[in-house]
Amino acid sequence: MTAITLPAYAKLNLTLDIIRKREDGYHDLQMVMQTVSLHDDVTVTLTGGDGVVCRCGDIPGDESNLAVRAARAFFAETGVEPCGLEIEIIKRIPAQAGMAGGSSDGAATLRALRKLLKPDLPGEELERIAALVGSDVPYCVRGGTALAEGRGERLTTLRDAPRLHAVLCKPDFAIPTPMLFSRVKVSELWNRPDTPGMLDAIHRGDTVGVLSRVKNVFETVLPTEYAGVFDIKERFLRLGAEATAMTGSGPTVFGLYRDEEAARAAYEALRSGYAQTFLTQFV
């Protein structure tokens, strides 16, 4: 086998809480993460040449691309002799959207290289390498429903969340993550998510309990110029969403539905005003 294509799934934050600021300047987080069906396709080909070539549409394929960084980390950490690679990414997950699109591409690259070159590499070791690439990359290697702590690299696999339909709506702006963190004063955060309650609801398979606890504390520190996030949340509620929140550091907002037809109707209503609207489901 010299080539493999794998899906790189988007993620949602069912909860996102900020616990403390660390001495190294980063923050300890507590997040319940969920994979959804929206995905990029990542093809990794062993070329027999030298170096890593990455093609990713309009997104740079240089060292700033997490797929390239993941490939280099794989060779550096496993002892596998570096070889020529071609990475082709068909993008569907929007960039700068809070859905870990770049991290998921990096994770898919790691999973592909393990299959191609080192199939006996333990999953824990692959996640350790992933943590060197980016905070969300270990979760994207694992996927599913998980509690992520620390910077996002400490993972606890959870029982699968109840199957829900998710409509994702990204407005036409980006929110700089460092700016959001700079506005955080942990002692003053309010309206925090009930993470223990969410974990219990997932454990019990309590769909209503899950829906009632969806929350992102970043929404409490959003500057007024990003009020479009709240406009979309209000639209979702008028369109019958049973829960709605921003994912990650935004700006994408998601609405959750138990009924597929209700989700499809919301998708059709929103996509006329927001080009980057997607109909997905939990996977």
Given a cut of 90, is residue 62 above it in pLDDT? no
Query: What pLDDT does 157 receive?
Result: 98
The percentage of residues in the chain with a pLDDT greater than 90, rounded to a whole number, is 91
Return the higher-pLDDT residue of 59 and 255: 255
Query: What pLDDT does 26 receive?
Result: 87
Query: What pLDDT does 222 receive?
Result: 96
pLDDT tens digits, residue range 69-88? 999 999 999 999 989 999 99
pTM above 0.75, yes or no: yes
Given a cut of 90, is residue 248 above it in pLDDT? yes
In the chain, ranges of CATH 3.30.70.890 domains:
165-281
Q: How far is it, in rounded angstroms, from Cα 142 to Cα 136?
A: 10
Query: What pLDDT does 55 receive?
Result: 92
Given a cut of 90, is residue 61 above it in pLDDT? no
In the chain, ranges of CATH 3.30.230.10 domains:
3-157
Confidence band for 138, pLDDT divided at 50, 70 and 90 = very high
Query: What pLDDT does 57 receive?
Result: 84
Given a cut of 90, is residue 128 above it in pLDDT? yes
The percentage of residues in the chain with a pLDDT greater than 70, rounded to a whole number, is 100
In the chain, the amino acid numbered 201 is A
Query: What pLDDT does 49 receive?
Result: 81
Query: What pLDDT does 60 receive?
Result: 81
Specify the CATH number of the domain 3-157. Answer: 3.30.230.10
Say how many CA atoms lie within 13 Å of 90 toward its Cβ.
7
Given a cut of 90, is residue 58 above it in pLDDT? no
Convert 104-125 to b/e letters by CB count within 10 Å (16 or more is b).
bbbbbbbbbbbebbeeebeeee
Positive or negative, the CA dihedral 168, 173, 179, 180 is: negative
Q: How many CB atoms lie within 10 A of CB 176?
A: 11
Query: What pLDDT does 64 receive?
Result: 87
Query: What pLDDT does 48 receive?
Result: 84
Residues involved in catalysis = 11, 136
pLDDT tens digits, residue range 82-112? 899 999 999 999 999 999 999 999 999 999 9
Given a cut of 80, is residue 257 above it in pLDDT? yes
Given a cut of 80, is residue 1 above it in pLDDT? no
Query: What pLDDT does 63 receive?
Result: 85
Q: What is the mean pLDDT of the chain?
A: 96
Lowest mean pLDDT, pick from 16-20, 61-65, 201-205: 61-65
Given a cut of 80, is residue 170 above it in pLDDT? yes
The answer to whether residues 62 and 68 touch, using CB atoms and an 8 Å cutoff, is yes
Q: How many CB atoms lie within 10 A of CB 31?
A: 25
Mean pLDDT on 53-77: 92
Does 165-281 carry CATH code 3.30.1370.160? no
Mean pLDDT on 47-56: 89
Paired residues of 61 in beta bridges? none
